Amino acid sequence: MKNRTKIINISLFVLYMVSAIQSSIMSVVQNDIIRDYGLSIAEAGFLSTASSIGMFASLFSIPFVQSRVKRMTCMTIGLVLMVVDMVLIGISTSFYVLLAAIAFMSLGSSYHDTFLNSLVIDLNGKDAPRYMNLLHTFFSVGALINPYIVKWIANISGSWQAVYYIIAFFLVLAYLHFVFQARKGMDVPAMRQAKGATLSKEVVKELVKDKRIVLTALQSTLYSSAQMGIASWIVTYINMEVGTPNPTGFALLDTLAIDVFPLSLLWVGITIGRLIMAKVGWNPVKTLAYGCFISVPVLVIGIISANYWALCAMTVIFGIICGHGIPSLTARAGRNTPGRTAMGTTISSLIGNCVSWIWPLMIAAIADVHGFRFGLLVTAGLLIASGIIGLLNDKACREYDEAHPDAA
């Protein structure tokens, strides 16, 4: 059974890596979309906001769906939504249709990724934090190679739309591979879970009253908003305001993707950070809180400098220090709600994500008036807030673990 669990884990890791490539396409082709649709920077902010709206809708619906629909079915629904809307993004000529497709693609991606993460947590029990960091390391690798894959496909096809078609095809292949392995592993207990716990007013009240869930949600949302703000806008900032050194002397950078190199370095740092956390197993809540505080001057110096190489250093340092944040806090949310991980992580995220859609628009609106240098500084404020909430969360988690030693 251990071997079968390991094989299922690996198939999920590969699937999540391809999903990462899908989720990171927009940050690379955003300039092409702005050009082709004739958008202002403020209007381009709606691209990220549409994605946030889709995620927001999923966070409302998943707690109700997961108690009525099998986990594998929910993952399949999510994948179908992702693939259909990736094709729609490619063929759309209307900005409003594009926004709708992005929103529904994000909805599908949230369904797919939420239940995938839930499955990894249930598959690995007490080892879930380690395997969650390994899972998200594969996600980081996908996001790391994404700029080069996207640029390469766009260059040989002459179209950014082709990127969506080709990645959709490989996403389907990866999912079919997982389904094949899952069907062979139905003897694994986690694979036999039919439906999640039923959502009720009593359950919601119980979850909302738990300080750990509320604080984990807030800490995660503030941090992930900062990370996504950097990942979403760093390439556009470089292209529109900073510029790139040319030539660099490195053939790959000069011919393919010098503008997305800092984004790649962000994911290099995140990958390293997640591998370190998977190995050392430090307290993730406290480690992220201190990491956020340490990262603030790094971000401020990098952004204000408006220097290409300083931004390269900024992204990789930030990634190493804080890159473990999302998987570590997802695992923490799962530990907060044993026996109903999908519901727990989703409700927890919902509490904190009620205002997360504001940040992409805020960065874009500030950048449209004052430039990206000031728009991106919003991320430093988010990190300070995340660090403060993280220290409160660490205290709440320690108090609970001391009061409930059997659950720790």
pLDDT in tens, 329-349: 877 777 776 666 666 666 655
Angle, alpha carbons 143-146-152 (nearest 5°): 175
Band (pLDDT 50/70/90 cuts) for residue 81 is very high
CA distance 97 to 46: 12
**pLDDT for 211:** 81
Domain limits of the chain? 7-183+201-403
CA–chain centroid gap for 380, Å, is: 18
User: For the segment 11-57, what is each residue's pLDDT rounded down to a tens digit?
Assistant: 999 999 999 888 878 878 888 898 888 888 778 878 877 887 887 78
Tally of CB atoms within 10 A around 1: 9
- Mean pLDDT rounded to a whole number for the chain: 81
Which one is predicted more confidently, 254 or 263? Answer: 263
Q: What is the pTM of this model?
A: 0.71
**pLDDT for 294:** 94
**pLDDT for 377:** 85
Nearest Cα to 263, choosing from 31, 12, 99?
A: 31
Angle between helices 211-237 and 284-305 (to 10 degrees): 20
Does the pLDDT of residue 373 top 90, yes or no? Answer: no
Specify the CATH class of 7-183+201-403 in words: mainly alpha
**pLDDT for 185:** 61
